[in-house]
Chain A
Amino acid sequence: TQLLEQSPQFLSIQEGENLTVYCNSSSVFSSLQWYRQEPGEGPVLLVTVVTGGEVKKLKRLTFQFGDARKDSSLHITAAQPGDTGLYLCAGEGNFNKFYFGSGTKLNVKP
């Protein structure tokens, strides 16, 4: 079983639509990271959130860390085909162990 549950697993939308991806856990993490991964490549870090309730914005992407530091969300405004990829959340546990969710596969159609 995954320590972090991501939803939805798959998302196919039209260019210009908005979307939200969720990352939930019953565990508390000292930080939570979001990555985007393209086929055959390693994950690329998008953002790290540390403080409960923290909100970070990266252009059209908005990341939020839950108040209790157990969950997070990623909201994309006006999605573009270049946003297509696998979005992974990862929570930092003890000894720099990172627990990954199973990912949300996003496809943005032109």
Chain B
Amino acid sequence: DAGVTQSPTHLIKTRGQHVTLRCSPISGHKSVSWYQQVLGQGPQFIFQYYEKEERGRGNFPDRFSARQFPNYSSELNVNALLLGDSALYLCASSPRRREVTDTQYFGPGTRLTVL
């Protein structure tokens, strides 16, 4: 079975540009979360989506937005890029079964470099 896939794998942008990152969850998983991981740190939670609705948001500015599609894939958009947005962006999917503690499965990430 395919795991979580993300595209592109690497991306180079300049300050002020915008970027769209994509994620396809594991088949059957309805929840997608996005994380930002700056070099040398643990992942920081950005968003969680379930059934196309935002269910959680971390402490990120409004320049960050996301959406989930009917097939449960997701996009993360970042506008007006800053140098500090350079990071590995991780997508994680989970089945979101309410009766048990959920488990997240991570994709390989998109490495974004802002020059």
Contacts and interface: CB of A to CB of B under 8 A. Distances in A.
Q: List the 10 closest pairs (A to B, CB-CB), nearest first.
A: A42-B106, A100-B42, A95-B56, A31-B101, A102-B42, A100-B43, A97-B56, A43-B106, A42-B108, A42-B109
B33 interface: yes
Contact of B48 (A2, A42, A97): A97
A45 B42 contact: no
Nearest to A101: B42
Contacts of B41: 102-103
Contact of B42 (A41, A48, A88, A95): A88
A89 to B, nearest CB: 8
Contacts of A35: 106
A22 interface: no
Interface residues of A, number: 28
Contacts of A97: 45, 48, 56, 58
Contacts, number: 71
A30 interface: yes
B48 A44 contact: no
Interface of A: 2, 4, 6, 30-31, 33, 35, 40-45, 48, 50, 88, 90, 92, 94-103
Given A92-B102, A96-B31, A96-B96, A43 B90 contact: yes
Contact of B106 (A2, A40, A44, A101): A44
B104 A45 contact: yes
Nearest to A9: B40
Interface string B75-112: 00000000000001010101010000111111111010
B101 A48 contact: yes
Contacts of B94: 96
B43 A43 contact: yes
Contacts of A101: 42
A51 to B, nearest CB: 10
B58 to A, nearest CB: 7
